[in-house]
Amino acid sequence: MKKQSKPAMVYGLPVPDEPKTLIEYIFPEIRYLRKKVRSQHALIKEQNAIIEEYGKMTAKFFGEKCNR
């Protein structure tokens, strides 16, 4: 018998099991946006904001590591 795993949660919302695009695979938060956002333009805007935030966090992390 297979053990039931809990669905992944992002911001308290269930995340769909299968990512539909590469961007959804890399950034799990983007998966639930499709239900939340109505237009394609708004979806792309939200995706870019999330990716930019990840970029800032990554740059900060590596900046701290490299400057030591």
The answer to whether 30 touches 49, Cβ cutoff 8 Å, is no
- The verdict on pTM exceeding 0.75 is no
SS3 49: helix
Q: What is the model's pLDDT at position 68?
A: 55
**43 contacts: CB under 8 Å, gap ≥ 6:** 33, 34, 37
Q: State the burial class of residue 30 (Cβ atoms within 10 Å of its Cβ: 0-12, 13-18, 19+).
A: buried
Per-residue pLDDT of the chain (68 residues), as tens digits, is 455 555 555 556 666 666 677 777 777 777 777 677 777 788 888 888 888 888 888 888 777 766 65
Direct distance between the N- and C-terminal alpha carbons of the chain, in angstroms, rounded to an integer: 50
Q: What is the model's pLDDT at position 14?
A: 61
